[in-house]
Amino acid sequence: MNVSEFINLHKSEDVRKLAFLATKFPDIDMPWALDQIRGWQVARSKMPSWAEIDGMIYPPHISMEQCSSEFTAMYKASICERLQNGSGDRMPLLIDLTGGFGVDFSFMCRNFDKAVYVECQQHLCNIAKRNLDLLGMHHADVKCGDGVDYIHSMKAENAVIYLDPARRDVNGAKTYAIEDCTPDVVELCDELVEKASVVIIKLSPMLDWHAAVEKLKYVIEVHVVSVDNECKELLLIMCKDAQQHPVKLFCVNNEDVFITTQEESNVAVLSIPLDQAKCLYEPNASIMKTGCFDQIVSRYNVSSIGKNSHLFISNDEIDDFPGRRFHIMSVSSFNKKELKQKLKGVERANITVRNFPLSTDQLRKRLKIKDGGDVYIFATTAWNDQHALIICKKMM
């Protein structure tokens, strides 16, 4: 049995159990085979189109964990396509300065006549070359080298430069400050925008995007990308000719995209009493990250429940609200007697705490309610500084 046959035979099995079979298959490079099996198993959910192609090579586990998903890679490709169509002259060249496993590059390069993948690790370059050929990306040029050196050596091009700085220090610990990433894009930003028409930078969703925009003076767009309401990526788009206009904010959650600017806002004050509201709205994770709460009030004509609640109410159903939507069944204070009355018959509920003195677990214990069911309880603090429990059910 050769290694390809071994992988195909065992690719759906538990990798940890397979590791104990090494002595039974002395002719199999077991560490490499296990990387391929584990990689294919990750790819089934993370990059399903790749998992369907026979012969794709997968890197060691850490590279698989750090690489983009197919959805986020396709989203970056859609940014490139939009920028291409919106530019006066089509940008024929893509340069990825931090190639890695090549997922982002493989999707983005489809919009370009020529694409250059730069990566300093030879084994990743070898993998990328093999996989890009299998994907039909024959116009891609794989170069093994340092991305910063490549910037220094290149001439100004009508191109898109993409980079995903490493977010771990020399000891492998995660870093979140933009200056601590490698390469340091703050130091390089002037040269980046001189060398390319558009620069796309992928950063940690934990990063303070306000600080990043301040330090990277050429930012024209900020994209916070979430999948299933979990923030995955922060993308900054830079351009040398960025004019003095508000930075566009793109709050993405799966297929829903909320686009706004920092200037679109309204004073978030309560216009209807909480106990008279019929509907409750919770913005998705990307909007929570950008903090576009005044924009939500302005765009959807809803009222904020409290200064730091990040929850909104109205008397109308808003079908296109970018987040979760609920019908309010009742509202209770934290008074023990009132709670007992309002929660009568509720044995299970999904509890969310926002700007409230108790944690979710503490509140659940206090209420003696199990997790789950179709009832949702939002515990928060209203504009009058009174604690409130809002008992809801999801809108269909």
75 residue type, one letter: Y
Distance CA 143, CA 120 (A): 8
- What distance separates the 2 farthest-apart alpha carbons in the chain? 73
Residues 343, 199 within the same domain: no
Examine the domain organization and report whether 104 and 164 are in the same domain. Answer: yes
110 domain-assigned: yes
Based on the fold, state whether residues 75 and 57 are members of the same structural domain.
no
CA–CA gap between residue 40 and residue 30 (Å, rounded)? 15
Which residue has 């007697």 as its token pair? 337
Residues 279 and 372 in one domain: yes
Nearest-angstrom CA–CA distance, 301 and 202 = 33
List the CATH number of the domain containing 80.
3.40.50.150
- Tokens matching residue 314: 């109205």
- Number of domains the chain is built from: 3
Phi, psi of 41 (to 5 degrees): -65, -40
CA distance 265 to 283: 16
CATH number at residue 30: 1.10.10
Q: Which domain holds residue 356?
A: 274-394
Q: Are residues 35 and 74 in the same domain?
A: no
Q: Note whether 210 and 92 are same-domain residues.
A: yes
Q: Which residues contact 244 (CB under 8 A, 6 or more apart)?
A: none
- 126 shares its domain with 142: yes
Domain boundary among 46, 66, 86: 66
Q: What angle do CA 241, 243, 247 make, to 5 degrees?
A: 110
Q: What phi and psi, each to the nearest 5 degrees, are found at residue 192?
A: -60, -50
Residue 28 resides in a domain: yes
- Nearest Cα residue to 280 out of 299, 264, 300: 300
Whole-angstrom distance, CA of residue 349 vs CA of residue 175: 37
Residue-by-residue pLDDT tens, the chain, 396 positions: 688 888 888 888 888 888 887 778 888 888 889 999 999 999 999 999 999 998 899 988 777 777 889 999 999 999 999 988 766 567 899 999 999 999 999 999 998 999 999 999 999 999 999 999 999 999 999 999 999 999 999 998 889 999 999 876 555 566 667 887 888 899 999 999 999 999 999 998 888 899 999 999 899 999 999 999 999 999 999 998 877 678 999 999 999 999 998 777 655 455 778 888 999 999 999 999 999 998 999 899 899 998 889 999 999 999 999 999 999 999 999 888 999 899 998 999 999 999 999 999 999 999 999 999 999 999 999 888 899 999 999 997
Residue pair 47/103 in contact by the 8 Å Cβ criterion: yes
Last residue of a domain, one of 207, 239, 261: 261
Tokens of 318: 């808003």
Does residue 218 sit within a domain? yes
